Amino acid sequence: MPLAVVAVSVQQPVSSDHQLARLLQIGVVLEEVVEARAGEHARTMEVDDPELEALLAEAAEESAGHREQLEDLIDDLEADTIPFEEIKGLVRAQYESEADFDGVLYDQLCNEETAYKFYDDLIAAIEDSDAALSVDRAQLIETLSSIREEEAEGVEEVTELMEKRE
Amino acid sequence: MNTSDQYLKAIYLVQQEEDGPASTGRVADMLDVSPASANEMIGKLEEQDLLEHEKYKGVTLTDEGIVRARDALQTYCIIERFLLEVLEVEEFRTEAKQLEPVIDETVADRLDTIIDRAPQCPDCFDPENDACKLLEVEPDPAD
């Protein structure tokens, strides 16, 4: 077995409500980054491309939906979430315009793949954890799994569009 | 970051601290694992040519091991800086250690798009303070 897939971690990352809330906050920020970057791409793009614009709008809408689901979970853990306006400002401050189709699409692919990887690792960490959590574990995993599924579909959609334009 | 990368990062930092091969005991201490666990993982990393282990002397990373260790350290720096700058977590060192197993390099790269990190990263990491030298924070009271 390759070493990279050894599941044992030095520390268990989900050993309390606090740590779970922190990871969900990171999920919220990732979704906010996706949403804000999609918005920046759409705002600054120099090409007129309705298909790509529709993809970006859909990605932003999907991220907003995921963010709300994560925020509900964070709320159940009695933790705070991160205001979207704050992240939007940070994204805008460091954003470097992707003027062409390939750049925008590649960034979108990274967004979807990264989000998928994050949820996949988070679900595995929750499943590995034997900590007592104050949220319903089955419900938590179900919610995260459905978000992960949508991220996988997102990867497929972007890949299909990339292949179509080759 | 997977377990092997956490080991490579720890070995890299211990080598810097000791200015030579890293003793396996110190590596185990840094990762808060038993010496037996550390030895087992070091053996696996040696099989992958990521380090050389000389009995009674310690462990030295190969060139490939150094590249992987520096990438892992950079990921750790991103997590610390993100926790402090964006989430305003006071205990960012402790939490970064807890979170690093579940934050992949690709995820850290996205978080990196909203933080201010110096181009010389990870050379500005200060192992004694367990944080980037350029971060404006008080020294860790635990040290």
Q: pLDDT tens digits for B15-68? A: 999 999 999 999 999 998 999 999 999 999 999 999 999 988 999 999 999 999
Of A104, A110, A90, nearest to B110 (Cα)?
A: A110
Cis-peptide, bond into residue A83, ω within 30° of zero: no
B138 in any annotated domain: no
Task: Report the predicted TM-score, pTM, of the whole model to 2 decimal places.
Answer: 0.87
Selecting from B31, B97, B113 the residue whose C-beta is nearest the C-beta of A94 gives B113
| ipTM here | 0.85
Nearest CA in chain A to B109: A114
Q: Are residues B52 and B76 in the same domain?
A: no
Query: Alpha-carbon distance B80 to B64, whole Å?
Result: 25
Q: Are residues B124 and B81 in the same domain?
A: yes
- pLDDT value for B142: 54
B30 SS3 class: helix
B139 in any annotated domain: no
Q: Is residue A91 a contact partner of residue A40, using CB atoms and an 8 Å limit?
A: yes
Q: Do B99 and A10 lie within an 8 Å CB cutoff?
A: no
Range of the domain at B9: 3-66
Q: pLDDT tens digits for B86-114? A: 999 999 999 998 899 899 999 999 999 99
B66, B92, B116: which is the final residue of a domain?
A: B66
Phi, psi of B42 (to 5 degrees): -60, -40
B38, B66, B94: which is the final residue of a domain?
A: B66
B143 in any annotated domain: no
Q: Do B109 and A114 lie within an 8 Å CB cutoff?
A: yes
Q: Are residues B128 and B96 in the same domain?
A: yes
Q: Are residues B78 and B39 in the same domain?
A: no
**What domains are there in chain A, each with its CATH number?**
14-164 (1.20.1260.10)
B19 in any annotated domain: yes
Report DSSP state, residue B118.
-
Q: Is the per-residue pLDDT at A157 higher than 50?
A: yes
Number of domains in chain B: 2
Rounded mean pLDDT of A63-89? 91
Q: Are residues B19 and B47 in the same domain?
A: yes
Give the H/E segment covering residue B96: helix B92-99
Q: Are residues B74 and B58 in the same domain?
A: no
Residue A95 Cα, gap to closest chain B Cα (Å): 8
Residues of B in contact with A91 (CB under 8 A): 113-114
Q: Is the per-residue pLDDT at A98 higher than 70?
A: no
- pLDDT value for A7: 33
Q: pLDDT tens digits for A11-34? A: 667 889 999 999 999 999 999 998
Of B60, B119, B76, nearest to A10 (Cα)?
A: B76
The one-letter code for the residue type at A118 is F
Inform me whether the C-beta atom of residue A49 falls under 8 Å from chain B C-beta atoms: no
Selecting from B44, B99, B114 the residue whose C-beta is nearest the C-beta of A3 gives B44
Q: pLDDT tens digits for B9-20? A: 999 999 999 999
Q: Do A4 and B31 lie within an 8 Å CB cutoff?
A: no
B77 in any annotated domain: yes
- pLDDT value for A24: 95
Q: Are residues B76 and B110 in the same domain?
A: yes
CATH number at residue B47: 1.10.10.10
B140 in any annotated domain: no
- pLDDT value for B68: 96
